[in-house]
């Protein structure tokens, strides 16, 4: 039980001249949410497809729930669920009808499929809409139903490939609540997302993929700690911005990371106290409207690791 439930080593995959994966390594403990982040084209979806037995790697190997994803694909499929970016439900059927259909396709008896559909509808708050045609569901309800269909066989591992793309904040929150319930019951979740706040709220561990490799792993707090705390200064007079930047550059040993009309931000080295900064600004005649110390966001970590100039969504 101490072995990782998802393990990949040296995964490689090419599509013509495009190398989607270039030796990807990944290890996910049981009962946790692993958020997989990366720019578009980094290899996230390709990795998920291989782990979910939808594609074979060109090299390397992977195991899910103890089974090899190539040689024992059937065993893997019996233990996983998969929900992608787009709901894969039948709009002409009702919510209940969709779940019953997926139950039968998963080789449940008619009675077991009906019972499991009813259980899932009640658990995830879709009972009132269960007998309505899915064509009349909101985007969030369709996505939630799609997630539920992946749970028909109580998977040990659930792969969620950008499950909240395009959803409004309320619908995203409902999906997050559903994921938390699953993990509380022991399901392991691999979540790919381009929403950094989603990873920050849901993930126990994060793997950052860029150019087909995992370039960083850790908890959200561990990754934030790698780039240090940030000091934000807001000046009362915009004309004081450059003198303030000079003070911070001297104290921190590096130029401010960002500068706007009346504020700037710099990485604060260890040992430098907030009181020291306020005192030096005062000595230089800089009137500060606000001086605040904060932890970096995952957006800032992502930009630093992938060397991007603009944040993802």
pLDDT given for residue 265 in this prediction: 84
pLDDT of the residue at 249: 86
Spatial distance between the Cα atoms of 81 and 220, rounded to a whole number of angstroms: 25
pLDDT of residue 1: 52
Does 256 score more than 80 pLDDT?
A: no
pLDDT tier at 309, thresholds 50, 70, 90? very low
Q: Which of 23-37, 71-85, 140-154, 268-282 has the lowest mean pLDDT?
A: 268-282
pLDDT tens track for 77-124: 999 998 876 667 888 999 999 999 989 988 899 999 999 999 989 888
CB 277 within 8 A of CB 285: no
- Does the predicted TM-score (pTM) go above 0.85? no
pLDDT band at 63 (very low <50, low <70, confident <90, very high): very high
> Which superfamily does CATH assign the domain made up of 6-224 to?
P-loop containing nucleotide triphosphate hydrolases (3.40.50.300)
Q: What is the pLDDT of residue 24?
A: 97
- 229-294 topology per CATH: Alpha-Beta Plaits (3.30.70)
CA atoms within 13 Å, Cβ hemisphere of 236? 7
- Residue ranges of the domains in the chain? 6-224, 229-294
**Distance (Å, whole) CA 16 – CA 30:** 35
Query: What φ, ψ does residue 257 adopt, rounded to 5°?
Result: -75, -35
Report the pLDDT averaged over residues 287-292: 88
Tell me the average pLDDT of the chain. 88
């Amino acid at each position: 039980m101490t072995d990782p439930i998802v393990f990949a080593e040296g995964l490689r995959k090419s599509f013509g001249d495009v190398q989607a994966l270039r030796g990807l390594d990944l290890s996910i403990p049981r009962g946790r949410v692993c958020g997989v982040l990366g720019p578009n084209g980094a290899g996230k979806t390709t990795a998920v497809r291989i782990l979910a037995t939808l594609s074979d790697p060109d090299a390397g190997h992977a195991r899910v729930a103890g089974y090899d994803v190539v040689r024992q694909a059937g065993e893997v499929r019996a233990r996983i669920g998969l929900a992608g970016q787009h709901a894969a439900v039948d709009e002409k059927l009702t919510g209940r009808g969709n779940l019953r259909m997926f139950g039968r396709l998963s080789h449940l008896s008619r009675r077991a499929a009906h019972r499991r559909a009813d259980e899932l509808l009640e658990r995830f708050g879709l009972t009132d809409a269960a007998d309505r045609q899915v064509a009349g569901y909101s985007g969030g309800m369709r996505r939630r139903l799609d997630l539920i269909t992946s749970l028909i066989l109580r998977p040990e591992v659930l792969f969620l490939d950008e499950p909240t793309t395009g959803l409004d904040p309320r619908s995203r929150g409902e999906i997050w609540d559903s994921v938390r319930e699953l993990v509380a019951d022991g399901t392991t979740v691999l979540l790919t997302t381009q929403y950094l706040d989603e990873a920050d709220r849901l993930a126990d561990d994060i793997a950052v993929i860029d150019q087909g490799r995992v370039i960083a792993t850790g908890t959200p707090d561990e990754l934030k700690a790698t780039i240090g705390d940030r000091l934000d200064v807001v000046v009362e007079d915009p004309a004081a911005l450059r003198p303030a930047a000079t003070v911070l550059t001297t104290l921190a040993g590096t130029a401010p990371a960002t500068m706007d009309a009346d504020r700037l931000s710099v990485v604060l080295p260890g040992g430098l106290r907030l009181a020291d900064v306020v005192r030096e600004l005062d000595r230089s005649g800089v009137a500060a409207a606000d001086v605040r110390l904060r932890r970096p966001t995952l957006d800032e970590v992502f930009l630093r690791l992938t060397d991007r100039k603009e944040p993802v969504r």
